[in-house]
Homo-oligomer: A and B are copies of this chain.
Amino acid sequence: MAHIYIYSPSGAVRDRAAFRRGVKRLESLGHEVEVDPSALDSWQRFAGDDATRLAAIGRAAASGADVALTSRGGFGLTRLLPDLPYRQIAKSIDKGTEFVGFSDFTAFQLALLAKTGKISWSGPALCEGFGPLGSSDDASLKGKAEASGAGQDGPDEIMLACFDDLIHGVGEGTGWRLPADSAKLGLEGLQARHAPLWGGNLAVLVSLLGTPYFPQIKKGVLFLEDVGEHPYRIERMLSQLLLSGVLAQQQAIVLGQFTDYSLSSHDKGYSLAKVVEWLRGKLKIPVLTGLPFGHVPTKVLLPVGLHVELLVENREALLLWGHIHKH
């Protein structure tokens, strides 16, 4: 079906069993999977030193694959930004390669958008997206995860369907049900049109502010997610976007999933919901929540840089980008 190139631009792959399961699963879906020679390299916490990872990105761009999929996130792209082969990546996108990833990959996506205007996809990475152990996996796919009893449900069905849409070039948008607390916000009938969709991991996105790798997007729809960040840190990051004027320049903010943090006894009622409430009080534009995107299995694929429509009808939010013609 599709030629999928797996490479590692960020953190070293430690869970090799998940990596192998991910590759086999893509193959069992009928895809031709090509694994970059340094995909499993390890140097400090990175998947190879900076030159190694830059070369891997270059090979992904030169692969002629339909999809260039990161093995995982982690950390490592920020330090590569000045040296990314932007022109080569842009050319490969023009020829039909879709770059897919998330988390640390946000740095790649936003820098690419800032430097070339090219579209990439926020979506799964190989290990976390396609690597989860499934109950029907045969013995060859089972690794350490089995012993720990982790993830017996395999890859998420919604993510798989969105990925399939991307492969076939038939995705026309995505939708989700807004949380109950959205009812009183007067979002019904909301229409944002011709809005560049952009965003990704909040911490990574904010870490580009003030640098040449932060895209200057006006009247966009900005989506954000994060993992392992206490709400006060989320507030501090949102503050930076607020005080820099970035948020007010958008048509809407869409919050995805913020997961894996712990409140403490010191918080005394302070919470992520309070942060969202605070943010809404500071902005005239709508702040939607509940987008199925983040460090969670159920994750839609989102085209960073593409113009979209955002509509709210009967508590359903719709993000529409129409048919994307394949090359």
Flag whether A181 is at the interface (Cβ < 8 A): no
What number of A residues sit within 8 Å (CB to CB) of B?
A: 40
Flag whether A212 is at the interface (Cβ < 8 A): yes
Q: How many copies does the complex hold?
A: 2
Given the contacts A207-B240, A209-B209, A267 and B44 also touching, CB distance less than 8 Å: yes
Flag whether A232 is at the interface (Cβ < 8 A): yes
A240-B270 in contact (CB<8A): no
B209-A278 in contact (CB<8A): no
A239-B78 in contact (CB<8A): yes
Interchain CA distance A268-B20 in the complex, whole Å: 22
B237-A207 in contact (CB<8A): yes
A269-B44 in contact (CB<8A): yes
In the complex, what residues of B have CB within 8 A of residue A42's CB? 268
Flag whether A176 is at the interface (Cβ < 8 A): no
23 contacts between A and B (CB under 8 A): A12-B266, A14-B266, A43-B268, A44-B270, A44-B274, A45-B232, A45-B266, A45-B267, A45-B268, A75-B232, A78-B235, A78-B236, A78-B243, A79-B239, A79-B278, A203-B236, A204-B236, A206-B207, A207-B236, A209-B210, A210-B240, A211-B243, A212-B243
Contact of A240 among B45, B209, B266 (CB under 8 A): B209
A210-B210 in contact (CB<8A): yes
Residue interface bits A227-243, CB-to-B below 8 A is 1, else 0: 00000100111011001
Given the contacts A14-B266, A45-B267, A75 and B236 also touching, CB distance less than 8 Å: yes
Flag whether A135 is at the interface (Cβ < 8 A): no
Interchain CA distance A212-B160 in the complex, whole Å: 44
Interchain CA distance A208-B239 in the complex, whole Å: 9
A-B contacts besides A207-B237, A210-B244, 11 pairs, CB < 8 Å: A44-B267, A44-B269, A45-B267, A46-B270, A75-B232, A75-B235, A78-B235, A210-B240, A210-B246, A211-B243, A213-B243
Residue interface bits A45-69, CB-to-B below 8 A is 1, else 0: 1100000000000000000000000
